[in-house]
Amino acid sequence: MMQPRRISRTILLVTILAIYGSRPLSAIDLGRFGTKNADNNKNADKEDAIEDARRLLNSMNDAATGTVTSYQPGGGPKKAEVVTCDEIMAKSLVVANEEKAAVIAEKTAVVKAASLLSDRIDELSEKLKEADDRIAAAEVAFSDLEQTTQSKLDAAAKEADERIKEANDAAAEEIERMKLT
């Protein structure tokens, strides 16, 4: 008796032979069954490269002539309507006007921002000048206060020295008087 695995392989082989019965099969074909055919992959790569080259050539021709073609899957190249020079110029004029309007709007925004910044700079310059004036006045007041304080300290030191001298003189006189008595 045949094993179930062997039966299923036999059925598979018979089915494959029945499917491919209309074309001649060789042992090499059966050996390659279920694997990728490297030649087919190379051919597909070549076909893709040729298709890319055709698209590039058509794009270059479109740019040179002002026409547009496109490829639809399975449909081949189809020509779009021809674009005239007047239409191209009109479109570029519209684009240029839009860009000009955008630049003018940006310029207006920059001028307004510069004006606001100029006003702010003037305001800050005034505040800085006021602060400098206050600092100068504070420095003068501090200098005056320092001079006044120094003169008061000098006067107090002089007065203290005089009182000490008077006290020493009075003590010396008292000592002399006590010695005499």
Q: What is the pLDDT of residues 118-166, one digit of tens each?
A: 989 999 999 999 999 999 999 999 999 999 999 999 999 999 999 999 9
Torsion of CA 103, 104, 108, 113, to 10 degrees: 10
Instruction: Give 167 or 38, the one with higher predicted confidence.
Output: 167
pTM greater than 0.85 (yes/no): no
Q: Flag whether pLDDT at 31 surpasses 70.
A: no
By percentage, how much of the chain surpasses pLDDT 70?
65
Mean pLDDT computed over 55-84 = 63
Q: Which of 83, 109, 138 is the last residue of a domain?
A: 83
Residue environment code for 36-64, b if the CB has 16+ CB neighbours within 10 A, otherwise e:
eeeeeeeeeeeeeeeeeeeeeebeeebee
Q: Which domain holds residue 28?
A: 4-83
Dist. CA 82–CA 117, nearest whole Å: 53
Q: Helices (DSSP H) in the chain: which residue ranges?
A: 4-19, 27-32, 38-65, 85-180
150 and 99 inside one domain: yes
pLDDT classification of 35: cutoffs 50, 70, 90? low
Look-up of token digits 């684009």: 95
The domain tally of the chain equals: 2
Highest-pLDDT range among 50-54, 78-82, 149-153: 149-153
Residues 71 and 90 occupy one common structural domain: no
Query: Residue 66: what pLDDT?
Result: 62
92 and 162 together in one domain: yes
Mean pLDDT over the full length of the chain: 78
User: How far is 152 from 149, CA to CA, in rounded Å?
Assistant: 5
| Burial degree of 69 (CB within 10 A; 0-12, 13-18, 19+) | middle
Q: Are residues 56 and 101 in the same domain?
A: no
pLDDT band at residue 38, thresholds of 50, 70 and 90?
low
Same domain, 149 and 173: yes
% of the chain exceeding 90 in pLDDT: 34
If you search the block for the tokens 């002539």, which residue do you land on? 65
Q: Average pLDDT, stretch 86-98?
A: 87
Say yes or no: 72 and 101 in one domain. no
Out of 83, 100, 129, pick the residue that ends a domain: 83
